[in-house]
Amino acid sequence: MDAARLNMNFPPLRQVLSCTDSASDHYALGAMYEQGQVALRDYEKAAELYRSAADQGYAPAQYALGRMSSAGQGVPKDIGEAVNWYRSAADQGYAPAQYALGRMYVAGNGVPRDDAEAAKWMREAALQDHADAQNELGVMYERGVGVVQNHVEAVTWYRKAADQNHAAAENNLGFMCERGRGVPQNDAEAVTWYRKAADQDHAAAQNNLGFMYQCGRGLARDEAEACKWIRKAADQGFAIAQNNLGFMYERGRGVAQDFDNAAAWYRKAADQGYAHAQNNLGVMYETGQGVAQDYTEARKWFRLAAEQRFAVAQYNLGVMCENGQGGPKDLAEAHRWFDAAAEQHNASAQFSLGVLYERGLGVTQDYAVAVSWYRVAADYGDPGAQLNLGVMYFYGRGVPQDYVEAHKWLNLAASRFPGSEAAKRAQAIRNRDVVARKMTRSQIAEAQRLAREWKAR
């Protein structure tokens, strides 16, 4: 229906105003102009009518005028003015305005950021069954933002919102059930809530439901079904799901293996700044899978993820700096990135730092420091670090010579190298046997006992 015919169904503005000057009628007519129900959408007329009602103290109109001030619709954009209108309505107990004011305090938008003040207004709105506020208050309790962290209280508020079919709250409640936070751990219950939200097209819930299908948690494992749900989320532009779908194409999980599709989905997520995907796309460029091999591009993507403190990417970037791939060889830069990843307990980076110090690459050679890094990585189960630590004990480099410790670590290394690293496993076995020839039977038995009792951190 065209605008002229649509307008014929409503009396002219002057006629309406001549009939009543009530704030509620001004507000209702303003809403018609804002939504384009009177004629073509007219924000200026809507704002004029809202202001007339707001000046009479009508809370819904004050809230509406706050919205328009915040968006710059019908009035100049003015965040401070938006806050003032929200506050006027919130002080009258109008829940949408209380929620909006709480959001302003969460973001520090038009007011200084104040998590406690945000929580206060969220609670006021939540107590009036405002579902968005109930969910937001649940998030604040879950994370301890503006309130003392309390997972039971978080679940309480998530459930109130979820009972109103609030999709984000349903997803959050599913997460709490999955992790056993504030409720007993229950995968089946988590699946129930994820599905409720996923059926409302909530992207995070679709991704989470896909994850549960992929792992067979709370329902029968079904990778094709996992891929279906993850794809739904990915098609909505949800970066985590786009990365996960890329992984499924890369590994052939639930779909035929397809490196081109894997790289394409990684790129979609990487372009949104998602660090995991940036690292994965870097790996594709490094290996030439799904894209032409390009070390410069690999190094670029690793750096983008590394600068977001993604430990695996920090390690990968360190390796490229160490080897001079995709840019100049720079051992100092390699050390910096290995150190950054090692601080986040990345065992491969810890092992690499040990190598740099053992060999004096970009740093002053220091066997004791090398041993300290090998030990940390070995305790996390890195077989390369266990192999090198065993050798250090055998020769007494950086530690007192100790054949029992050498045998223990070499034995562990031999048992932990995967089949793809058969040569290193054979090296660990040869070194262990060399050590054993210098040991008594009781020493060997002691070393074997220590290896059996060892547990990774």
Whether the CB-CB separation of 417 and 428 falls below 8 Å is answered with yes
Indicate if the pLDDT at residue 137 is higher than 80: yes
Residues of the chain with CATH 1.25.40.10: 1-111, 129-236, 238-334
Write the pLDDT tens digit of every residue in 62-86.
999 999 999 999 999 999 999 999 9
* Alpha carbon distance 219, 135 (integer Å): 26
The amino acid that residue 124 corresponds to is: E
Write the pLDDT tens digit of every residue in 370-379.
999 999 999 9
Indicate if the pLDDT at residue 160 is higher than 50: yes
Model confidence band, residue 38 (pLDDT cutoffs 50, 70, 90): confident
What residue spans of 36-114 are helical by DSSP H?
43-54, 59-71, 79-90, 95-107
* Alpha carbon distance 100, 86 (integer Å): 7
Task: Please state which CATH class domain 129-236 belongs to.
Answer: mainly alpha
DSSP state of 318: H
Task: Please state which CATH class domain 1-111 belongs to.
Answer: mainly alpha
* Alpha carbon distance 218, 450 (integer Å): 38
Please state whether the predicted TM-score (pTM) of the whole model is above 0.85.
yes
* Alpha carbon distance 212, 1 (integer Å): 47
Q: What is the pLDDT of residue 4?
A: 33
Q: What is the CATH number of domain 238-334?
A: 1.25.40.10
Model confidence band, residue 40 (pLDDT cutoffs 50, 70, 90): confident
Write the pLDDT tens digit of every residue in 375-402.
999 999 999 999 999 999 999 999 999 9
Measured from the Cβ of residue 71, the count of other Cβ atoms closer than 10 Å reads 12
* Alpha carbon distance 133, 105 (integer Å): 13
**2-15: b or e for each residue (b if 16 or more CB lie within 10 Å)?**
eeeeeeeeeeebee
* Alpha carbon distance 210, 221 (integer Å): 10
Q: What is the pLDDT of residue 20?
A: 56
User: Residues 308-313: what's their mean pLDDT?
Assistant: 98
Q: What is the mean pLDDT of the chain?
A: 94
Q: What is the pLDDT of residue 197?
A: 98
Q: What is the pLDDT of residue 349?
A: 98
User: What are the residues whose beta carbons fall under 8 Å from the beta carbon of 451, sequence distance 6 or more?
Assistant: 407, 408, 411, 412, 415
Q: What is the pLDDT of residue 34?
A: 92
Torsion, Cα 190 191 197 198, to 10 degrees, reads 150
Residue 455 tokens read as 């547990």
Q: What is the pLDDT of residue 167?
A: 98
Model confidence band, residue 39 (pLDDT cutoffs 50, 70, 90): confident
Write the pLDDT tens digit of every residue in 104-134.
999 999 999 999 999 999 999 999 999 999 9
User: Residues 6-17: what's their mean pLDDT?
Assistant: 40
Residue 96 tokens read as 């949408």
Phi and psi at 41, nearest 5°, equal -55, 135
User: Residues 250-278: what's their mean pLDDT?
Assistant: 98
Model confidence band, residue 168 (pLDDT cutoffs 50, 70, 90): very high
* Alpha carbon distance 390, 392 (integer Å): 5
Model confidence band, residue 451 (pLDDT cutoffs 50, 70, 90): very high
Whether the CB-CB separation of 9 and 1 falls below 8 Å is answered with no
